[in-house]
A and B are shown apart, each in its own frame.
Chain A
């Protein structure tokens, strides 16, 4: 694979990660808020734990996992971008 292909693929990856980062909060809103959450409010219990408790904490863990993946992929992309600081950005202390 040529260097240019690698670069293009890297760009696509980055774009994809950023899109994922933008979509993630909306997915979380969809999953946590009614009406979707109401599908899991049936008075059921799995292994003694109510379904809704499992659902809320399960989705929560899943969202955190996604955020961690996004963050680590952005960190990889960010390392490549490090050289491109905005020229007019004041120096950081």
Chain B
């Protein structure tokens, strides 16, 4: 026997160690995420919380009673974890991506953030967890009692001691304290509890080491090898054919379901997960842990049967075996291992369940009944924390109550399986919710409620053996003597094991109603939206999907809610990117979603949605759009549409590039044309300069006066050439043609004369007769004389050059009419076809008619100049049948308007 004081001191020392680990874990987490806290190893060890005192003590008991059956409890999770790629990966990705806080949160969020569903799942989870927590309290109490029994542990285990509820009470109180101190100190965005996880990881190591130590001690101390060991093995181990019946299958299914659905497993596997890497490692490391835990169960069971007196409680073999051989140290280690496995389970379960209770039961009620102190953030947070703390105490003491009420002689495994069957009811909604789009909220509610009711009736209530609600007579013969309603033989199905029977009926009802009601009802728009997010978690969402839900809310209102629930500090960081002056403005869809997500971490998805909806002024979810998008082919269509749109954009860009290219080519072409035109323009005065200089050179004895005249022409032409080049520069400056020279009043006739003089040589060379007809008198226009002369030179030279008739003649006439000075240059050449009369003035345009090789820029420049003076340059048919170009300019002085002459 160990003294109670020593055991208590050992426990206290151990708890102190856990506190230290949890404390440093929390501190490490506050310094920043990552590090060893988020390593796959710690993650896997935290999942090992699956192995509770049911495993530590109960597995051996189960092996003694039912042979290999104990292994099913670990084979089920092994299958689920090695098959992580099929289901767990999706579940964990959904939980991680959408910051799920509990299994109730996930199911409620998937089915349209339904608060009813969240509440139902929470109630089921709490009720189902009760026997499980009772199991831990029972194991703790029993092991403590056995260890401290005055007559020795072996004798105690043989006695079937009456449970000491005082010990149970203090154990429960201690567990509450630890859970509250480390689990509910603060409200996290993701409900991640780094400190607790670190402590749990340590406990996982302790229980494995303890069990392996006992196992090794048993195996190594065994003389005679395996043959001797299995000599007295129970029949179900040596002749196991009967083990593999419906109960074997049911237990594998139940254990596989439990490792997903148990609130604490969901907490450590999904909520605390930070990356897929963790899960990938856990996929083989966690089964390996289970394998190692189970490896020594059979040897310990066999050794216990051989070495301990007949009638010893097999659930305590792990503890009593070392003491029977006076191995106090190993015994104490075994006790600590069991202590460890029980405490970690209770702590994490109560934390997970308290979050669920506060988020899905207390907060929705408090908010709808206006009990929550929503005036101040501090009070609100305190309210939430208090709700969680009270929930923890409630859960643990509910377990204690179950322990008190239920038959206290049950095997540990049998109690645990009641819980497993209860939480397995979540499986259809959970799996269906992640794979089946048609699943509706009503279907999930109906299935869960029916499964829960049948479980409670066929398994949970009978486990009290008449002490609670269902009297013993009703359990034996059915309520009111109705035999077909017997809890263990519903509808006369009496040949099944009670557990298999309960699983069969509850799952049948659950599945039937889940599928049936889902098919009969339509999902709400939000449920459709959520189902798309959850089911297609690994598929890239198309843009059209993400924009299906549109909400509008004022930033100020959102901020108000965030302040109240999250506290000012977090709210500030949440709205940091928003301009404070814009608070009356409408919040973006993303901001609303972010706020809702943060709120969900504190009060659950359904409550968060209710809160946000209270300030959202309009919400539209296009059901048609969602329905359309739900179709598989429609997804492909949406993709191809997106691709098409992209390719259209690319095409448009390509078109634009092609157009730019064409433009550049055209400009390049025009540049070439322009250059040739410039040469042409420059050539005209050059020709006349050459012609006059030729004459001067060939006739040295020319009269001085004539020589003088010719030289002046040459000079004028060179000057004009200079000015022409200036003009070309002008022309290249867009939009300011003729603006360089400051306009001044001048007599246009002078410009005309200047032009005539410069063309004289050209005309003579071409044999063209120039007739000076009517002249305008006293006409004054505003502008630049040289430029006007340039225009006339252009017109005259064109008229001279392109006149192919036998007796070419150019007639020049000018007059002032209706306030306009008009000068006409007409010829008897081929004329300009009516269709081309506007085209020939286009800049850089060539005349289309044959022989019009160089024309174009001259006229364009001319028109530009004339237009710059506020006049017009037009072409018409001349009286001689050729072309008649008319320059019309507004006269500058009103008095000359009357002076129409000749």
Chain A interfacial positions (CB closer than 8 Å to B): 18, 21-22, 24-26, 28-29, 32-34, 37-38, 41, 43, 45, 47-50, 52-53, 56-57, 60-61, 63-68, 70-71, 74-75, 78, 86-90, 92-93
Contacts and interface: CB of A to CB of B under 8 A. Distances in A.
A93 B249 contact: no
B230 interface: yes
26 contacts: A21-B85, A22-B86, A25-B80, A26-B83, A28-B78, A33-B244, A33-B248, A38-B241, A45-B230, A47-B226, A47-B227, A48-B227, A52-B68, A56-B71, A57-B294, A60-B291, A63-B82, A64-B288, A70-B82, A70-B283, A71-B284, A74-B280, A78-B276, A78-B277, A86-B540, A90-B99
Interface in B186-215: 189-190
B97 A63 contact: no
Given A38-B244, A45-B238, A71-B283, A50 B277 contact: no
Interface in B212-242: 225-230, 233, 237-241
Q: What are the 4 tightest A-B residue pairs by CB atom distance, in nearest-first order? A: A25-B83, A48-B227, A48-B226, A21-B85
B404 interface: no
A25 B244 contact: no
Given A24-B83, A29-B79, 16 more contacts: A18-B85, A24-B85, A25-B83, A32-B75, A32-B79, A34-B248, A41-B239, A43-B239, A50-B240, A52-B240, A60-B75, A60-B287, A63-B287, A67-B284, A75-B277, A93-B274
A68 B244 contact: no
B245 interface: yes
Q: Is chain A's binding surface mostly helix, strand, loop or mixed?
A: helix
Contacts of A53: 68, 237, 298
Interface in B83-102: 83-86, 96-97, 99
Contacts, number: 132
Contacts of B295: 57
Contacts of A78: 276-277, 280
Contacts of A50: 230, 233, 237-238, 240
Nearest to A61: B291
Interface string B349-366: 000000000000000000
Nearest to B281: A71
B767 interface: no
A55 B239 CA distance: 14
Contacts of A48: 225-230
A28 B83 contact: yes
Contacts of B252: 32-33
B608 to A, nearest CB: 16
Given A24-B83, A89-B97, A63 B546 contact: no
Interface in B608-663: none
Given A34-B249, A67-B284, A74-B280, A49 B226 contact: yes
B94 to A, nearest CB: 11
B81 interface: yes
B679 interface: no
Interface of B: 33, 68, 71, 75, 78-86, 96-97, 99, 189-190, 225-230, 233, 237-241, 243-245, 248-249, 252, 274-277, 280-281, 283-284, 287-288, 291, 294-295, 298, 538, 540-541, 546
Nearest to B88: A25
A82 to B, nearest CB: 10
B722 to A, nearest CB: 66
A44 to B, nearest CB: 9
B525 to A, nearest CB: 20
A93 B38 CA distance: 11
Contacts of B243: 41, 52
Contacts of B291: 57, 60-61, 64
A68 B284 contact: yes
B171 to A, nearest CB: 34
A76 to B, nearest CB: 11
A75 B280 CA distance: 8
- Most chain B CB within a 10 A radius of its CB, from A24, A25, A28: A25
Nearest to A26: B83
A44 B146 CA distance: 38
Contact of B275 (A47, A49, A52, A92): A92
A30 to B, nearest CB: 10
Given A33-B248, A52-B240, A60 B97 contact: no
A66 B226 contact: no
A88 B85 CA distance: 22
Contacts of A41: 239-241, 243-244
A93 B189 contact: yes
Contacts of B233: 50
Contacts of A88: 540-541, 546
Contacts of A67: 81-82, 283-284, 287
Contacts of A32: 75, 79, 252
Nearest to B89: A21
A48 B299 CA distance: 12
- Most chain B CB within a 10 A radius of its CB, from A22, A28, A64, A75: A64
Given A90-B97, A93-B274, A25 B240 contact: no
A58 B528 CA distance: 46
B806 to A, nearest CB: 80
A19 B237 CA distance: 36
B69 to A, nearest CB: 11
B245 A34 contact: yes
Contacts of A68: 284, 288
Nearest to A59: B75
Contact of A28 (B82, B226, B541): B82
Contacts of B225: 47-48
Given A34-B245, A57-B295, A67-B283, A24 B82 contact: yes
Contacts of A75: 277, 280
A46 B106 CA distance: 48
A60 B241 CA distance: 19
A63 B295 CA distance: 15
- Most chain B CB within a 10 A radius of its CB, from A26, A45, A60, A90: A60
- Most chain A CB within a 10 A radius of its CB, from B83, B84, B237, B291: B83
B59 to A, nearest CB: 14
B73 to A, nearest CB: 12
A89 B275 CA distance: 13
Nearest to A36: B244
Contacts of A60: 71, 75, 78, 287, 291
Contact of A63 (B78, B249, B275): B78
Contacts of B226: 47-49
Contact of B190 (A47, A56, A93): A93
A19 to B, nearest CB: 10
Contacts of B81: 67
